[in-house]
Amino acid sequence: MVAPEKMLGWTRVPSVEAQAFLPGRYASLPELGRLTGRGNTVNLENVVRLTSDLVLDVGDTGATYVSLADRVQEQTGIPYALLDGRFEAAAAAYRLLGALIGRREEAESLARDAETTLSTITGRIAGTPKDRRPRVYYARGPRGLETGLGGALNLETIELLAQNVAGATRGGLATVSIEQVLVWNPDVIVTIDPDFAANVARDPSWASVAAVRAGRVHLAPRLPFGWVDLPPSVNRLIGLWWLAKMLYPDLFPEDLRPLTRDFYRRFYHVTISDAQIDRVLAGGS
Q: What is the pLDDT of residues 10-31, one digit of tens each?
A: 988 999 999 999 999 999 898 8
Q: What is the CATH number of the domain that holds 25?
A: 3.40.50.1980
Give 139's strand partners. Answer: 191
Q: How many domains does the chain have?
A: 2
Give 82's strand partners. Answer: 57
* In a shared domain, residues 79 and 114: yes
Domain end marker among 101, 125, 149: 125
What's the confidence (pLDDT) of residue 37? 63
* In a shared domain, residues 22 and 85: yes
* In a shared domain, residues 112 and 149: no
pLDDT in tens, 176-234: 999 999 999 999 999 999 999 999 999 999 999 999 999 999 999 999 999 999 888 99
Shortest CA distance to 225 belongs to which of 241, 212, 237? Answer: 237
What are the b/e assignments for 103-134, b being 16+ CB within 10 Å?
bbebbbebbebbeebbeebeeebeeeeeeebb
Cα-based distances in Å from 179 to 27, 182, 268? 42, 5, 41
Shortest CA distance to 212 belongs to which of 191, 233, 242, 236? Answer: 191
Cα-based distances in Å from 258 to 18, 163, 215, 236? 20, 28, 26, 17
Domain end marker among 103, 125, 147: 125
pLDDT at 130 over 70: yes
Cα–Cα distance measured from residue 285 to residue 283, given in angstroms and rounded to the nearest whole number? 7
Domain end marker among 90, 125, 160: 125
* In a shared domain, residues 137 and 275: yes
What are the b/e assignments for 212-232, b being 16+ CB within 10 Å?
beeebbbbbbbbbbbbbbebb
Range of the domain at 217: 130-281
Shortest CA distance to 240 belongs to which of 128, 97, 146, 114? Answer: 114
* In a shared domain, residues 134 and 267: yes
Cα–Cα distance measured from residue 121 to residue 115, given in angstroms and rounded to the nearest whole number? 10
* In a shared domain, residues 162 and 243: yes
* In a shared domain, residues 277 and 180: yes
Shortest CA distance to 217 belongs to which of 225, 209, 229? Answer: 209
* In a shared domain, residues 77 and 49: yes
The model's confidence at residue 35, banded by pLDDT at 50, 70 and 90, is confident
* In a shared domain, residues 182 and 157: yes
The model's confidence at residue 82, banded by pLDDT at 50, 70 and 90, is very high
* In a shared domain, residues 28 and 86: yes
Cα–Cα distance measured from residue 136 to residue 157, given in angstroms and rounded to the nearest whole number? 12
Q: Phi and psi at residue 136, in whole multiples of 5°?
A: -115, 135
pTM to 2 decimals?
Answer: 0.94
Cα–Cα distance measured from residue 164 to residue 168, given in angstroms and rounded to the nearest whole number? 8
* In a shared domain, residues 108 and 177: no
Which range, of 70-74, 141-145, 277-281, averages the lowest pLDDT? 70-74
Q: At a CB cut-off of 8 Å and minimum separation 6, what does 49 contact?
A: none
* In a shared domain, residues 176 and 218: yes
Give 175's strand partners. Answer: 146
